[in-house]
Amino acid sequence: MKLATVILAAGLGTRMKSQTAKVLHRVAGRPMIEFPVGLARDLRSERVACVLGHQADAVRAAVEARFGEGSVAVAIQAEQRGTGHAVAQAEKALRGFDGPVLILYGDVPLLTEATLRKLLDAGRRRTLALVTTLLDEPTGYGRIVRGAGNRLERIVEEKDATDAERSICEINAGIYCVQSKFLFSALKKLRTDNAQGELYLTDVAARAAQSKEGGEVGTVEVEAEEVMGVNDRVDLARADAAMRRRVTLTLMRAGVTIRAPETCCIDAGVTVGADSELGPLVQLRGNTRVGAGARIDAGCVITDATIGDGAHLKPYTVVAESEVGAEAELGPFAHLRPGSQLGRKVKIGNFVETKKARLGEGAKASHLTYLGDAEIGAHANIGCGTITCNYDGYVKSRTVIGEGAFIGSDTQLVAPVTVGAGAVVGAGTTVVEDVPPGALALSRSKQIAVPGYADKKRAEREARAATKGSTSAGKRSRRKP
């Protein structure tokens, strides 16, 4: 079925009290505007037009960053004259299109594809169909006025409603499916003779109900949460919590174990393979991908990273913009900074930090180590307290450690430097020159032993203490009574 979508996102969002456009505020890690655009694309809309106003360039940039340049047409509503006026701005972008038009909102992020498919089905043989919901407290919303046979007659806005109409609990969610020819014809006939002096999109529904070709206007009723709009920070928090609940439920139903799911923070779009396990307080952000059978323990924070099958991240490990190979083991308290790449079965232990470091299969850095701008071969062993000195105050340089090399504890590798395959670097060494494959590198001075030194020093301390004690006793005996 042919389909076009118009997304209204021109509002100022003054109740957000923010320098950022309302539709750019994030729900489950994504700018709100991404959700309706994503739905339109999932429904295979031929055309998607965003009606923008406040910070239009920033909103367009956010959409194109996610969906690609030219993914939406942009229409500008320079003057806020109501929802009907906003939709009318999209007429040029939809010129030549003949078929149903979905009308969505940039600040309604919880709407589902299933609901829109029902709406499209309801509107297939009708001029117009819309979404409604029931509210115990409908103050502020347009009411659905029904007549004989429960048919929709019109929608009345709060400020224009009578007392009887204000008692109606069925409200208009503002989401429509309208045949394009009727829509733009009806928009041209809208008038501003209402309490707000605006062009109401709701009046299009009344025209459809009254027109010969419109007949019965279709309605789809949904739960209120799904069509809630975000107007302030309280609404934003509610929408964020609801979306994250959906994400965790979807993952658990797909075979992921989540301990204390109410404490986890998983962004929309994150994927986790079956039989993986997430501990309490885990955060999976951005475009993170977790393989099957992985285990991510309590307090881990993973951002824009790929975690391989069967990997184990121990408590409070932080990973950003990095790749972790299958069956790798990290933490606790490890930190992978952007650009780190760990091969299969790599071990990064507690208080190890990496940055732009590539570790081959089976390489190990078990504790208290910094590996920056480094290439580390398969099965190399990096001892405790090792540092790659990658910055000299002017430029950053690279350290290369060959396969099977052994780096002793408390070693400093001053880049640029290469340690050959199978080489050994003794503990406490500062490496400033390349080490040939299979060689031993040492830079510490020769150890010496002075016989009797400790015994002599101990005797001297004891003698001083005895002398001091006798002197103090003499002073006390000479005091007058």
Residue 367 designated active-site: yes
Burial class (CB within 10 angstroms; exposed 0-12, middle 13-18, buried 19+) of 150 = exposed
Cα–Cα distance between 101 and 2 in angstroms, integer? 9
For the stretch 464-473, contacts whose Cβ atoms lie closer than 8 Å and that sit 24 or more positions apart, written own/partner, are: none
Place of tokens 């923010």: 18
Please give the single-letter amino acid code of residue 171.
I
Burial class (CB within 10 angstroms; exposed 0-12, middle 13-18, buried 19+) of 416 = middle
Sequence-distant (≥ 6) Cβ neighbours of residue 66 within 8 angstroms: 30, 31, 34, 37
Cα–Cα distance between 326 and 48 in angstroms, integer? 40
| From 85, 312, 367, 379, the catalytic residue | 367
Q: Where are the alpha helices (DSSP H) in 264-356?
A: none
Contact 390, 384 (CB under 8 A): no
DSSP letter (8 states) at residue 308: -
Report how far apart, in Å, the C-alpha atoms of 367 and of each of 314, 333, 399, 432, 452 are: 13, 10, 19, 23, 37
Stated as kind and residue range, the H or E segment containing 235 is helix 233-253
Return the active site residues.
367
